[in-house]
Structure 1
Amino acid sequence: MTAASPTPAQPETLELGYSFCPNDTFIFHALHAGLVPSPLPVREVLEDVQTLNDWATSSRLPITKISYRAYFSVMDRYVALRAGGALGRGVGPLIVTRGEVGDLNGKVVASPGALTTAELLLRMVYPDAQVRRMRYDEVMPATARGEVDAGLIIHESRFTYPQYGLSRHLDLGAWWEGDTGLPLPLGAILVRRDLPAQVQLDLNAAVRASLDYAYAHPQASAAYIREHALEMEDAVMQAHIDLYVNAMSRDVGDEGERAVRELQRRAVAVGAAPASDLPLFVGEALVSGT
């Protein structure tokens, strides 16, 4: 009598962390819903970006959205996908105030998190600003109440700050573009480096396919995006997607790579991240033959 073959183990489910923001839910809906092929099933874990940044320091999730600033501090454990990130022009964080403030060195600025790209840029422009950290959705109310001299805002806040009686002090994205001539890297999608190289590449393809599906079938993700957009108005929600999802979300491209390397160089120069010679993106080691 022939022995029965062992029952194959159920495939591992990978936790995929991303934010509630419309650009992320737009990109990842099809992957989360199983509408596109994936090398392994994924399960969504939705959190604010600063929480995801913090979790990455302990390698909590195998795939995760993260600020590029935070990525530079966890490169020993993670590598960035070429797809799914947020880079571009006109996408940068803003510094807002209740009125004319002038030089912010020595002033108190509310920040959405120590590991955000936004705070790294603030440090480059105003190295002596006094930072007070809080959750990103608390920054504008605190600034409007006069609890801080200025607020560093990200995400959909760049569309809604006038509702709080606030004025734009500085567009940090415009400052970056003017200083470097490059698009601004904001957020990346990372996979753990200990995953097999082919799985990393297949996950990159799956994220790209998820984005392609979202563009081809915009109504498929509409309810999912709305569910997580809280009280965001429809026009703001769509403006958010239009601004933060672009060609570099499908592939970072040569210009995007140059921008990431320049941001990394500057982060190291100001002591915000350790130097690293590890590949920044999946597939680089395969291409170089190492």
Structure 2
Amino acid sequence: MKNFMIAHSPDADDIFMYYAIKFGWITESLTGKPSKKYKFQNIAEDIETLNQKALKNIYDVSAISFGVYPFIKDEYALLRTAISFGYGYGPKLVKLKGEKLKPNFKVALSGEYTTNALIFKIAYPKARIIYKNFLDIEKAVLDGEVDAGVLIHESILTFNERLEVEKELWDLWVDMAGETPLPLGGMAIRRSVPLIDAINIENILTRAVEVANRHKNLLAKMLIERNLVRVDDKTLDKYLSLYANDKSVELDEEQLNAINKLYEIGHKAKLLPKIKDIREYLIPKEYKNIRFEEE
């Protein structure tokens, strides 16, 4: 049996998309038989920690920000599944109510390689940036440590009433790219993983997202009961409707084009290495239907 480490963030959509595997709902192949060849271990770490570890080629499979992928493209292939995009929504730049931000305002971001940091840097070149764990950003703004902060994950739905939204990052993205989905995060797999294994792992993860979506209410209830998420049931339902849905199962053409647009904009701003077409960095599509034979 081959062991693989899958790393994901502790936010609700990553946990939701992975835990169908953890709960034993996913079989290795379409035969319906339990896998005899793969054993998955999972670890949850904040997204910037995962980005930094991807730069060091630590985990076999890892959630990443799309903003880091151009820096790891030689070591990791991008998976087509477990993806998060914004459709009219996304991270939020917040400040204390009534405060006016100066051009060089101090801001807390969730990490140097996050997608929200990339978009923010392009839009606010004079801002003074510090990086914090995403769980600590709201408090930093409330305590006056920073003038503003970009909230991600569940915080976009639950932030303190003393705060107000200065700018939706969705609006910044539309100004840069037009009305196209906002690429936020996905999954990547080390290129050192044999191709047949990589194909099967992608298929297993894809099925996990499909099954999670199909049994959303049951899985969400189980996550709440086991204290695996940080929000209540109503907030979880709202959050999953945004970031763990039918658009999370497999990259479509609109999403692939949006990722290319992100990388074009980032390279033009001299913040990203050049990537011509993200399709060249996926697991070869012509092998998609290859399966292991059951022992």
Would you say same fold, with TM above 0.5? yes
| Unaligned ranges ≥5, structure 2 | 29-36, 289-295
- Aligned match of 1:255: 254
Please give the per-residue CA displacement for 1:217-237, whole angstroms capped at 9, x wherever unaligned.
33145323552213x222112
Conserved in 2, the CA contact under 8 Å of 1:140 and 1:164?
no
Comparing 108-117 with 26-35, which one deviates more in the overlay?
26-35
What is the deviation of 1:265?
Answer: 1.4
What is the deviation of 1:138?
Answer: 0.9
- Aligned match of 2:164: 167
Separation of aligned partners in 2, 1:282 and 1:247: 21
Conserved in 2, the CA contact under 8 Å of 1:18 and 1:46?
yes
Separation of aligned partners in 1, 2:89 and 2:192: 32
The one-letter code matched in structure 2 to 1:170 is K
Separation of aligned partners in 2, 1:165 and 1:220: 33
* 1:280 aligns to 2:281 (yes or no): yes
Please give the per-residue CA displacement for 1:20-59, whole angstroms capped at 9, x wherever unaligned.
1111111111123332123622111111111111110111
The one-letter code matched in structure 2 to 1:30 is A
Conserved in 2, the CA contact under 8 Å of 1:88 and 1:246?
no
Conserved in 2, the CA contact under 8 Å of 1:91 and 1:244?
no
The one-letter code matched in structure 1 to 2:172 is W
Q: Classify the secondary structure of the residue corresponding to 1:73.
A: helix
Q: Classify the secondary structure of the residue corresponding to 2:239.
A: helix
- Aligned match of 2:245: 246
Q: Report 1:1-290 matches (<5 A).
A: 11-38=1-28, 40-102=38-100, 104-161=102-159, 163-180=160-177, 181-218=179-216, 219-220=218-219, 222-224=221-223, 226-230=226-230, 232-277=231-276, 279-283=280-284
What is the deviation of 1:282?
Answer: 2.1
Conserved in 2, the CA contact under 8 Å of 1:144 and 1:164?
no
Comparing 100-109 with 233-242, which one deviates more in the overlay?
100-109
Conserved in 1, the CA contact under 8 Å of 2:76 and 2:189?
yes
Conserved in 2, the CA contact under 8 Å of 1:109 and 1:132?
yes
Alignment TM-score, normalising by the size of structure 2:
0.86
Please give the per-residue CA displacement for 1:248-285, whole angstroms capped at 9, x wherever unaligned.
21111000000001111122222222224572322258
Conserved in 1, the CA contact under 8 Å of 2:220 and 2:236?
no
Q: Classify the secondary structure of the residue corresponding to 2:53.
A: helix
Separation of aligned partners in 1, 2:91 and 2:39: 34
Conserved in 2, the CA contact under 8 Å of 1:185 and 1:263?
yes
What is the deviation of 1:202?
Answer: 1.9
Separation of aligned partners in 2, 1:237 and 1:90: 19
Q: Classify the secondary structure of the residue corresponding to 2:25.
A: coil
Alignment TM-score, normalising by the size of structure 1:
0.88
Q: Classify the secondary structure of the residue corresponding to 2:15.
A: helix
Separation of aligned partners in 2, 1:260 and 1:221: 29
Separation of aligned partners in 1, 2:285 and 2:213: 28
Please give the per-residue CA displacement for 1:193-233, whole angstroms capped at 9, x wherever unaligned.
12222322222211111112113333145323552213x22
Separation of aligned partners in 2, 1:213 and 1:285: 24
Q: Aligned pairs, how many?
A: 275
Percent of pairs identical after alignment?
25
Conserved in 1, the CA contact under 8 Å of 2:84 and 2:243?
yes
